[in-house]
Amino acid sequence: MKHETDGRETRRTTQRSIMMAAMKLSRLRIICLWTLIIQMSLVSAFVQSTSRATIITLQSAFPRGRAAVSVVSRTTEHQWSVPRIRSFHTTTRHQQASSDDQLLTNALRKEILHQSLKSIEVDTDGMDAAALQSIQNPTAGYDGAYGKSAIRTYRAFINPQKTVVNDNDSIKLQAAADRCARQIDFLLKRHKSHQAEWVRHNDAADATQRQTFPLILLLDNVRSAFNVGSIFRTADAAGCERVLTTGITPHPSGSGAEKLQKSALGADLVVPSQHFLTTQQAVDFVRQELPDYQLVGMETTEKSITYTDMIYSPKGTVFILGNEVTGVDTDVLTVLDAIVEIPMFGAKNSLNIAACAPVVLFEAIRQLQGRVPPAVDDV
C-alpha cells in the first residue's frame, strides 16, 4: 500500500511540474511577442521622423525558428510596408529578371503582330512610329494619320496590362495577333472615313426635326430583340410616325430593351413607340384612333399581292410584321385591308422581317412622294 501511495504522489508531482513548465513557456512566448511589437512601434516612429529613405532589419528569435522583418520607408510620403520574408537585394534581382522577360515577350508579340499587319497591307513602320510618339510625347496627342483607337489597340497588344493568351502557346498567340490586326485595319479605315469630309457619318443635329410620313409599323410577337432594333432604325430612316409592339415583342420600355438598343443605335429614342398585350388590341386601337389608316399585312399567302402592285393610301398605312417563325397571326390576317409580299426567286419562302420592312416602306414612300418607275423605253 505504501508503494502505491508513493507512486501516485510521484505521478502527481511530475504532472504538476510539466504544467508549470508549459505555463512558463507560454509566458515567455507572450513576452517575446510584446517585445517585437514594441520594437516595431519604435522603428515606425523613427522612420516617420526621418527625411531620407531607410531600410531597417529586425530579427527576433522564436522557439520554432527565426523570422526577419524588413521595414522600408519612402522619403516624401513617409509610407512604410512590411513585405514578406525576402531581402531587398533578392527582390531587386527578381524584378530585374522579370523586366527582362517582359521586354523579350513584348518584342515577340510585336514581331508576330507586324507579320499579321503586313499580310493585310498595313504600314507597320508608320504604326510603330505613331505608337512610340504617343508614349514619348503624350502632350502632342495621337498621330492624325492613324487615329487614337488604332494606336491604343496596337499598344495594348504589344504591352498588355493583363495577359489573356499564354505567350508560350504560339498557335493561340498567332490567332490573337490576327484578330488584333483585323481590328486595327478596321479602326484605321473607320478613322480615314471620318476624316473624309464628303462622307457623312453624323446624325442630324436635332432629332425632333425628322421628316415623317403617315406610316406605322406594327410588330406582332416578334421574338428577336436585334430584329426589333433593326426595324426601329428602318422606321427612323423611313420617317415612320411610330412603332407599335405587341405580346412578346421586345420594346424600349420593357423586356429585351438592352439587346434592342445594340442594333437600334439610338433610333428607339427618336421613334415613338407603344406596347399592347395582344395584336388584336393594337388593331382595335388603330381602327378607333386612326380610322383613315389602312391595315396591310406583310406575309406570304395565297391572298397576297406583290408589294409594288399595292396602292398605298395617302391618308396612312399600318404595316404588320409577324413572328420570325409563325408569321402574322392568322386571326389577325382575316381582319386586314390587304396583304402584300415580296417576290422570292430562291429556295426559301421569305426574307427576314428586318430585311422586308425597308423594302416595302420605301416603296410606300415612293408612291407618297408621287414618283413612278421610269418606262422601259426611257431607261
Establish if 376 belongs to a structural domain.
no
The verdict on residue 71 lying in a domain is no
238's CB contacts (< 8 A; 6+ apart) are 213, 215, 358, 361, 362, 365
Tell me the C-alpha distance between 247 and 189, whole Å.
Answer: 42
Residue-level pLDDT at 258: 85
* Cα(215)–Cα(218) distance, integer angstroms: 10
Quote the pLDDT of residue 77.
40
Max CA pair span of the chain:
140
By C-alpha distance, which of 337, 343, 352, 333 is closest to 307? 343
Q: What's the Cα-to-Cα distance from 280 to each of 52, 224, 285, 308, rounded to whole Å?
A: 82, 21, 9, 27
Same domain assignment for residues 322 and 357: yes
Using the 3D structure, point to which of 170, 195, 220 is the last residue of a domain: 195
Its pTM surpasses 0.95: no
Q: Give pLDDT, residue 253.
A: 82
Q: What is the DSSP string of 306-360?
A: ETTT----TT-EEEEE-BTTTBS-HHHHTT-SEEEE----SSSS---HHHHHHHH
Which residues of the chain have a pLDDT value below 50? 2, 50-89, 372, 374-379
Report the pLDDT value the prediction gives residue 47, as an integer from 0 to 100. Answer: 54
User: Domain tally for the chain?
Assistant: 2
Given this model, what pLDDT does residue 106 score? 83
217 and 342 fall within a common domain: yes
Give residue-wise pLDDT tens across range 99-151. 666 777 788 888 999 999 999 999 999 989 998 888 888 766 788 888 888 99
Strands across the sheet containing 273-276: 273-276, 242-246, 215-220, 317-321, 294-298, 338-341, 305-306
C-beta separation of 364 from 321 below 8 A: no
Let me know whether 189 and 218 are in one domain.
no
Residues in Cβ contact with 181 at an 8 Å cutoff, skipping those fewer than 6 apart = 113, 116, 117, 119, 120, 122
pLDDT tens-digit profile of 152-166? 999 999 888 876 666
Please tell me whether residues 177 and 269 are part of one structural domain. no
**Per-residue pLDDT, 221:** 92
So what's the pLDDT on residue 64? 42
Same domain? For 341 and 258 the reply is: yes
User: Does 185 map to a domain?
Assistant: yes
Please indicate, yes or no, whether residues 232 and 318 belong to a single structural domain of this protein: yes
pLDDT number for residue 348: 84
Residue 29 resides in a domain: no
- Look at residue 379 in the predicted model and tell me its pLDDT: 39
Domain assignment of residue 190, given as a range: 99-195
pLDDT tens-digit map of 200-231: 656 665 566 788 999 999 999 999 999 999 99
Handedness of CA 259, 260, 266, 272 (dihedral sign): negative
- How far apart, in whole angstroms, are the C-alpha atoms of residue 250 and residue 133? 47
